């Protein structure tokens, strides 16, 4: 077995730029702020950074509604700021990944403004425009992830347009080759600036085939859950037969792969995908067939209510069945859309608050020991908890604003990073007001303070990452064998040509051990 490509076992640190570091005291994190903290990330020992969208955007969904893919939103800086960031990141041996949103753009993008103006303009079919049914209702029963119909009436065209998310996020029509070609240009633009890879947002929600304008069937396995997102009508339907995971998506994936492969230094494509019920792994397998995406961003460890030990082990077993000896999966225990690990996993694992830090480092070590790459969301290396006391008038997430106080949305995991507890706003910003409130309970876990504490989660993780880089079983192969355990333990072997490493994760004692055999 030879050395793997960088992305096959990379530890990728996700940065939510709005909340990472403010450099100009406007209360919003920015690109210069990220640049300022590259040394912190380099010393932690991660291999790459993934930056959530910073493109021009009206910020209806905080960057996942793009109005210009070729420029930077002024809140975050300028193209020159990005060029400086990527130069210094590479100098620090950190690769840089961007979050591209291919399935939809902002309703304020010039493409959509032109498209909705008439049925005969040059971009008339860049989006999904469909006639109403005879009774005037929407073309299908499709629902939005965020609630309500996935169709909105546009009086200028006297047609409905499709949006799998907010109405302000119209879906692009990938049945039109011009759309694919435009996104090819976007990829080349950023690759030419030295970007090392893309995380492709919600790529399974690309819509390309008008044949699939048919109703979704009912989900016979739907169970009303305890959380508002489990109560949405969206989950009462099955989507892979019509609305999502359409076969024609793979034309986009193949096109992007050809572009990535035309550049040196192993440019990486990681697609965020999902599927109905238990189909996520087969969906991932389809998206990573030869000539398509390199890997997929896996949801199996991101359960909102947390996972038991047995459920975590089951996710690992499913991954190994399909993806053993490959780097085609990327695992994460947290991101900008779900509650933080230190909050959601306590109850699921039966861990007391006083043992939260031990649980956190155990889960980080487990995640990083699984085959493939892994993504660590900012603040997880500090053991930050969710912030659940944000007043409604200070909330920003439209999902949370709509359902508060029953459901607090995603602001709870997006509050600004704190860097030094002695500085105003924990060192995030000197502004009088930050875009989301600073969490007082995070101050004792400030990042720079933690980096200087040898007993901190940051330093425990840093030591583990340095140790890992010396282990052939983890760095020269993606082989995982003999996965065993019970409701309190997970064990498996990582194996290369010249090393077999038995990895054991004990959730009773909250300890990880690694033995060469």
DSSP letter at 105 equals -
Determine how many CB atoms are found less than 10 A away from the CB of residue 5.
Answer: 13
Bridge partners, 500 (sequence order): 495
**Nearest residue to 397 via CA among 95, 19, 87, 37:** 19
- Cα–Cα distances (Å) from 411 to 118, 169, 283, 332, 371, in that order, read 38, 20, 29, 19, 31
Residue 355 dihedral angles phi and psi, to the nearest 5°: -100, 10
Sign of the torsion formed by the C-alpha atoms of 247, 252, 256 and 261: positive
Q: How far apart are CA 134 and CA 143, in angstroms?
A: 20
C-alpha 128, offset from chain centre: 26
Catalytic residue among 272, 274, 385, 460: 272
Return the HEC string of 242-260.
CCCCCCCHHHHHHHHHHHH
Q: How far apart are CA 399 and CA 403, in angstroms?
A: 7
DSSP letter at 357 equals H
- Cα–Cα distances (Å) from 232 to 137, 325, 411, in that order, read 21, 38, 19
Using left for φ > 0, alpha for ψ between -120 and 50, and beta otherwise, residue 41 falls in alpha
Residues 6 or more apart whose CB falls under 8 angstroms from that of 367 comprise 301, 331, 332, 333, 374, 376
Catalytic residue among 99, 201, 300, 385: 201
The yes-or-no answer on residue 201 being catalytic is: yes
Asked if 343 and 389 touch (Cβ cutoff 8 Å), the reply is no
Asked if 19 and 76 touch (Cβ cutoff 8 Å), the reply is no
Using left for φ > 0, alpha for ψ between -120 and 50, and beta otherwise, residue 461 falls in alpha
- Cα–Cα distances (Å) from 444 to 16, 43, 389, 431, in that order, read 21, 20, 17, 21
Determine how many CB atoms are found less than 10 A away from the CB of residue 366.
Answer: 22
Asked if 256 and 270 touch (Cβ cutoff 8 Å), the reply is no
Sign of the torsion formed by the C-alpha atoms of 45, 48, 50 and 54: positive
Asked if 237 and 217 touch (Cβ cutoff 8 Å), the reply is yes
Asked if 307 and 461 touch (Cβ cutoff 8 Å), the reply is no
Which amino acids are annotated catalytic?
Answer: 201, 272
């Amino acid at each position: 077995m030879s050395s793997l490509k960088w992305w096959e076992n990379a530890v990728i640190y996700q940065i939510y730029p709005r909340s990472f570091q403010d450099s100009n005291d406007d209360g919003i994190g920015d690109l210069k702020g990220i640049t300022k903290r590259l040394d912190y990330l380099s010393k932690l020992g991660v291999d790459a950074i993934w930056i959530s969208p910073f493109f021009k955007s009206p910020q209806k969904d905080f960057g996942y509604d793009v109005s210009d893919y070729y420029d930077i939103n002024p809140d975050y800086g300028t193209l020159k700021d990005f060029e400086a960031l990527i130069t210094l990141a590479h100098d620090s041996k950190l690769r840089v990944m961007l979050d591209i949103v291919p399935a939809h753009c902002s309703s304020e993008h010039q493409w959509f403004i032109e498209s909705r103006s008439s049925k005969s303009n040059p971009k008339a079919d860049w989006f999904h425009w469909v006639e109403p049914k005879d009774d005037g209702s929407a073309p299908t029963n499709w629902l939005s992830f965020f609630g309500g119909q996935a169709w909105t009436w546009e009086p200028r065209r006297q047609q409905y347009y499709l949006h799998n998310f907010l109405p302000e996020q119209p879906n692009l029509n990938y049945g039109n080759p011009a759309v694919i070609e435009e996104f090819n240009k976007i990829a080349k633009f950023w690759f030419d600036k030295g970007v090392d890879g893309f995380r492709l947002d919600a790529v399974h929600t690309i819509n390309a085939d008008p044949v699939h304008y048919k109703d979704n069937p009912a989900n016979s396995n739907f169970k009303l859950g305890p959380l508002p997102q489990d109560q949405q009508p969206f989950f009462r339907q099955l989507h892979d037969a019509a609305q999502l995971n359409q076969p024609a998506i793979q034309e986009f994936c193949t096109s992007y792969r050809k572009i990535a492969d035309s550049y040196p230094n192993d440019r990486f494509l990681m697609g965020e995908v999902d599927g109905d019920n238990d189909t996520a792994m087969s969906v991932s397998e389809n998206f990573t067939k030869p000539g398509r995406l390199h890997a997929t961003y896996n949801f199996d460890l991101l359960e909102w209510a947390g996972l038991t030990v047995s459920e975590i082990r089951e996710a690992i077993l499913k991954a190994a069945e399909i993806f053993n000896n490959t780097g085609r999966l990327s695992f994460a225990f947290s991101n900008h859309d779900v509650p933080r690990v230190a909050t959601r996993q306590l109850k699921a694992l039966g861990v007391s608050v006083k043992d939260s830090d031990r649980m956190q480092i155990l889960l980080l070590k487990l995640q990083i020991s699984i085959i493939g790459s892994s993504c660590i969301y900012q603040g997880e290396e500090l053991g930050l908890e969710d912030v659940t006391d944000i007043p409604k008038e200070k909330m920003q997430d439209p999902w949370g604003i709509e359902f508060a106080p029953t459901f607090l949305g995603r602001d709870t995991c997006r509050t600004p990073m704190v860097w030094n507890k002695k500085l105003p706003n924990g060192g995030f910003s000197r502004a009088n007001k930050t875009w989301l409130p600073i969490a007082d309970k995070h101050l004792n876990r400030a990042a720079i303070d933690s980096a200087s504490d040898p007993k901190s989660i940051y330093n425990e993780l840093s030591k583990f990452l340095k140790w890992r880089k010396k282990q052939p079983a983890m760095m020269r192969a993606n082989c995982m064998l003999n996965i065993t355990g019970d409701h309190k333990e997970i064990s498996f072997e990582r194996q290369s040509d010249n090393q077999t490493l038995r990895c054991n994760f004990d959730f009773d004692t909250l300890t990880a051990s690694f033995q060469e055999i």
